[in-house]
Amino acid sequence: MDMVINGVTRGMRGEVRVPPDKSISHRAAILGALAEGVTTARPFLRSADCLSTLACLRSLGVELGLEGEALRVEGRGPGGWREPQGPLDAGNSATTMRLLAGALAAMPFRCEIRGDSSLSRRPMARIVEPLRDMGAEVEALGEGSRPPLVIRGGRLRGIDYEMPVDSAQLKSALLMAGLQAEGETRVRGGKASRDHTERMLALMEADISFQEDAVVVRRSSLRGREVAVPGDISSASFLLAAAALLPGSRLVLREVGLNPTRAGFLSVLNSMGALVMESSYRESANEPRGDLEVGSAVLSGVEVEGWRIPAMIDEVPLLAVLGCRAKGETVVRGAGELRVKESDRIAAMCAELARMGGRLEELEDGFVAYGPTPLKGARVDSHGDHRIAMSLAVAALCAEGETVISGWECVDISFPGFAELLRSIL
């Protein structure tokens, strides 16, 4: 499906709410299914990825249902899961596949998890090897340790594991396996990656502790809880960026998640010259949240690397758009993980923005964007990647003329109704 967007000269104005946080929605469903008692997540993100998680859990015998804006999970502990009748379908969702692999590692049955063509290209060795070390039988059937995954649960033992990359999905998989393992599971490193799993485990009364550079979990039972899900900061970032770029903007976003491990884009946007103001800060269900207000600004290039990358990994493609419109050079390094997302996000953004007149230099682990460069409407490709599609939509709003984005349907993976929301505030 194509999306047609015309460049605009007016700014964004209004007050809106973005969809519920995707990462927290996934975790509430899976941890609620491992818990004893009822877990309610409100509001729950009804995106394609999160619905894939629910479909997999139903196939595993978990009783759950969507009631209005809420998800209700009837948790019966790990013992309530049953062997599925066929392969589980994770769709496009690597979060579904990797987190479920950790949860399934101790189950007394065989399970296969498949995905679509995009997910089938994602690397899985990073979870296969440590789960094997814990005692599970895990095999990636695809070439180069890619999906599908076959898991035969076993008697698990805790391990002391040093994270090779800052991956919240890997960390979460090991913590979920550690809940069902003998002894303690210690995950060292990875502190820059998002910590929603640790926060929710603490909320659900897991035996979890935190050390200077490690998270330690021991065999424990979870208790079902009410999970208040904030707005997704990654989804909010596309609106914040567009408002900063379009003259005359004044936009307020209500109830956005402000978890420090996810809010790196806010500090980078401020460093570029935008003024993002936070208000009404509070915590609920162990997650910080608040309102954000942003207006149009003249932006300058920045350099982003090191520990700042994991805290804004989903927003790096968007930074390429900002870099094309900012004064000077915007340099991103240390983002090689973007090569193995739903698409090669580095190559995709450099190629598609070049079609619109952007000047970018592709690096092995990032890019350099040169600005300010006028952008012109063009036919561009989403590469089947929701983050690419929405980043190109922001570029299209700032471009002269008409832009046609192919493969627009992928936006439903994380932000259903994105186009309609844009129209409502322009």
191 and 302 in a common domain:
no
Helix intervals (H) in 272-382: 316-325, 345-355
- Separation of alpha carbons 50 and 73, rounded Å: 14
35 and 7 in a common domain:
no
Residues 27-56 pLDDT 10s: 999 999 999 999 999 999 999 999 999 999
Domain boundary residue, one of 218, 250, 285: 218
262 and 188 in a common domain:
no
- The total of structural domains in the chain comes to 2
- Mean pLDDT across the chain: 96
- To which residue do tokens 């890619």 refer? 146
349 and 238 in a common domain:
yes
Which of 21, 314, 344, 385 is the catalytic position? 314
234 and 212 in a common domain:
no
Confidence of residue 192 (pLDDT cuts 50, 70, 90): confident
Q: Is 140 domain-assigned?
A: yes
pLDDT at 273: 97
30 and 112 in a common domain:
yes
Q: Is 225 domain-assigned?
A: no
267 and 402 in a common domain:
yes
Q: Is 223 domain-assigned?
A: no
Q: Is 107 domain-assigned?
A: yes
Q: Is 149 domain-assigned?
A: yes
Residue 122 to residues 23, 57, 131, 229, 367: CA-CA distances in angstroms? 18, 21, 17, 28, 22
pLDDT at 92: 96
CATH number at residue 393: 3.65.10.10
Domain range enclosing 101: 22-218
Token pair in block for residue 106? 């101790």
Percentage with pLDDT > 70 across the chain: 100
Answer yes or no: are the C-beta atoms of 54 and 227 closer than 8 Å.
no
Domain boundary residue, one of 185, 218, 251: 218
307 and 163 in a common domain:
no
381 and 277 in a common domain:
yes
Helix intervals (H) in 80-209: 94-104, 125-133, 168-178, 196-203
Token pair in block for residue 47? 């995106």
Residues 206-217 pLDDT 10s: 999 999 889 999
Domain boundary residue, one of 177, 196, 218: 218
- Separation of alpha carbons 99 and 167, rounded Å: 12
Residues in the chain: 426
386 and 250 in a common domain:
yes
344 labelled catalytic: no
Burial class (CB in 10 A: 0-12, 13-18, 19+), 2: exposed
77-87 average pLDDT score: 97
Residues 300-358 pLDDT 10s: 999 999 888 999 999 999 999 999 999 999 999 999 999 999 999 999 999 999 999 99
71 and 187 in a common domain:
yes
pLDDT at 279: 97
Q: Is 163 domain-assigned?
A: yes
pLDDT surpasses 90 at 64: yes
CA neighbor of 88 nearest in space, from 43, 119, 58: 58
Residues 384-403 pLDDT 10s: 999 999 999 999 999 999 99
362: region left, alpha or beta (phi > 0 left; psi from -120 to 50 alpha)? beta
Q: What is the DSSP string of 36-75?
A: EEEEEEESPP-SHHHHHHHHHHHHTT-EEEEETTEEEEEE
Confidence of residue 129 (pLDDT cuts 50, 70, 90): very high
104-125 average pLDDT score: 96
Q: Is 381 domain-assigned?
A: yes
158 and 240 in a common domain:
no
Q: Is 224 domain-assigned?
A: no
At 109 the three-state DSSP class reads coil
Token pair in block for residue 126? 């990073």
